[in-house]
Structure 1
Amino acid sequence: MLSFIETINGYVNDFVWGVPAMICILGVGLVLSFRTHFIQLRKFGYALKNTIGRALHKTKAADGATTPFQSLCTALAATVGTGNIAGVAGAIAIGGPGAIFWMWVSALFGMCTKFSEVTLAVHFREKNKDGDWVGGPMYYIKNGLSKKWHWLAALFSVFGVLTVFGTGNATQVNTIIASIDSALSNYHVVSADSMGTVNLVLGIILAGLVALVLLGGIKRIGSVTEKLVPFMALLYILMALGVVIVNYKNVPAVFGMIFKGAFDPSAITGGVVGTVFMSVKKGVSRGIFSNEAGLGTGSIAHASADTKYPVRQGLFGIFEVFVDTIVICTLTALIILCSGADFEYGVAAGAELTISGFVATYGGWVSVFTAVAMCCFAFSTILGWGLYGSRCIEYLFGTKIIKPFMVVYSLVAIIGATADLGLIWGIAETFNGLMAIPNLIALFLLSGTVVKLTKDYFNKYANAPDAKAS
Structure 2
Amino acid sequence: MDALDELISQFASAVWGLPLVILLIGGGFYLLILSNFLPFRYLGHSLDLLRGKFNNPNDPGEINHFQSLSTALSSTVGMGNIAGVAVAIALGGPGAIFWLWVSAVVGMATKFFTNTLAVMYRGKDTQGNIQGGVMYFIEEGLGKKWKFMAIFFSVAGLIGALPVFNVNQLTQAINYILLEPNNIPTGFGTNLIIGIILVILTSVVILGGLQRISKTVSKLVPAMVALYFISVIIILIVNFDVVPYYFSSIFTDAFAAENYKGEPMLGGVLGGLIILGVRRGAFSNEAGIGTATMAHGASKTSEPVREGLVAMLGPAIDTLIVCTLTALAILVTGIWQTTDVNGVSLTAAAFEDAIPYVGDYLLLLCISAFSISSLFSFSYYGTKCLSYLAGAENKHYYNYFYIISILLGATTSLSMMINLIDGFFALMAIPTMISTLILAPRVMKAARIYFKKLKE
Q: What TM-score does the superposition give when structure 1 sets the normalisation length?
A: 0.90
Q: Which residue of 2 aligns with 1:322?
A: 316
Paired AA for residue 13 in structure 1: A
Give the counterpart of 2:195 among 186, 189, 203.
Answer: 203
Paired AA for residue 44 in structure 1: L
Point out the more displaced range, 202-211 or 374-383: 202-211
- Is the 8 Å Cα contact of residues 359 and 367 (structure 1) preserved in structure 2? yes
1:409 aligns with 2:385: no
In structure 2, the CA distance between the partners of 1:107 and 1:405, relative to structure 1 (3 Å rule), is same
- Is the 8 Å Cα contact of residues 339 and 357 (structure 1) preserved in structure 2? yes
In structure 2, the CA distance between the partners of 1:234 and 1:130, relative to structure 1 (3 Å rule), is farther
CA distance in 2, matches of 1:184, 1:354: 15
Pairwise CA distance, 1:13? 2.2
Pairwise CA distance, 1:196? 4.8
Q: Which residue of 1 aligns with 2:131?
A: 134
CA distance in 1, matches of 2:56, 2:408: 39
Pairwise CA distance, 1:15? 2.7
In structure 2, the CA distance between the partners of 1:234 and 1:463, relative to structure 1 (3 Å rule), is farther
- Is the 8 Å Cα contact of residues 61 and 299 (structure 2) preserved in structure 1? no
Structure 2 SS opposite 1:216: coil
Structure 2 SS opposite 1:446: helix
Which segments of 5 or more consecutive residues in structure 2 lack a partner in the other structure? none
Q: Which residue of 2 aligns with 1:146?
A: 143
Q: Which residue of 2 aligns with 1:301?
A: 295
| 1:229-272 Cα distance to aligned partner (Å, 9 max, x none) | 11111111111111112212212111221111111122x66999
- Is the 8 Å Cα contact of residues 91 and 262 (structure 2) preserved in structure 1? no
- Is the 8 Å Cα contact of residues 340 and 360 (structure 1) preserved in structure 2? no
Pairwise CA distance, 1:74? 0.4
Pairwise CA distance, 1:176? 1.7
CA distance in 2, matches of 1:385, 1:263: 35
Q: How many residue pairs are counted as aligned between the two chains?
A: 453
CA distance in 1, matches of 2:213, 2:57: 15
CA distance in 1, matches of 2:59, 2:197: 32
1:276 aligns with 2:270: yes
Give the counterpart of 2:426 among 429, 433, 456.
Answer: 433
CA distance in 1, matches of 2:330, 2:301: 40
Point out the more displaced range, 427-436 or 9-18: 9-18
Q: Which residue of 2 aligns with 1:468?
A: none
CA distance in 2, matches of 1:183, 1:271: 27
Q: Which residue of 2 aligns with 1:87?
A: 84
Pairwise CA distance, 1:398? 0.4
In structure 2, the CA distance between the partners of 1:62 and 1:180, relative to structure 1 (3 Å rule), is farther
Pairwise CA distance, 1:185? 2.4
Q: Which residue of 1 aligns with 2:390?
A: 397
Pairwise CA distance, 1:376? 1.0
Point out the more displaced range, 403-412 or 95-104: 403-412
Give the counterpart of 1:158 among 135, 143, 155.
Answer: 155
Question: What's the Cα RMSD here?
Answer: 2.5
| 1:250-304 Cα distance to aligned partner (Å, 9 max, x none) | 12111221111111122x6699997211221111110010000010111110111
1:245 aligns with 2:237: yes
- Is the 8 Å Cα contact of residues 203 and 417 (structure 1) preserved in structure 2? yes
In structure 2, the CA distance between the partners of 1:348 and 1:151, relative to structure 1 (3 Å rule), is farther
In structure 2, the CA distance between the partners of 1:271 and 1:110, relative to structure 1 (3 Å rule), is closer
- Is the 8 Å Cα contact of residues 116 and 307 (structure 2) preserved in structure 1? yes
| 1:110-151 Cα distance to aligned partner (Å, 9 max, x none) | 001011111000111134355643111100100000332211
1:38 aligns with 2:32: no
CA distance in 1, matches of 2:167, 2:128: 32
CA distance in 1, matches of 2:262, 2:166: 33
- Is the 8 Å Cα contact of residues 121 and 132 (structure 2) preserved in structure 1? yes
- Is the 8 Å Cα contact of residues 92 and 261 (structure 2) preserved in structure 1? no
1:227 aligns with 2:226: no
- Is the 8 Å Cα contact of residues 335 and 346 (structure 2) preserved in structure 1? yes
- Is the 8 Å Cα contact of residues 65 and 132 (structure 1) preserved in structure 2? no
Paired AA for residue 235 in structure 1: L
Q: Which residue of 1 aligns with 2:118?
A: 121
Which segments of 5 or more consecutive residues in structure 1 lack a partner in the other structure? 465-470
- Identical-residue share of aligned pairs (%): 37
| 1:87-129 Cα distance to aligned partner (Å, 9 max, x none) | 1111112122111111111111100101111100011113435
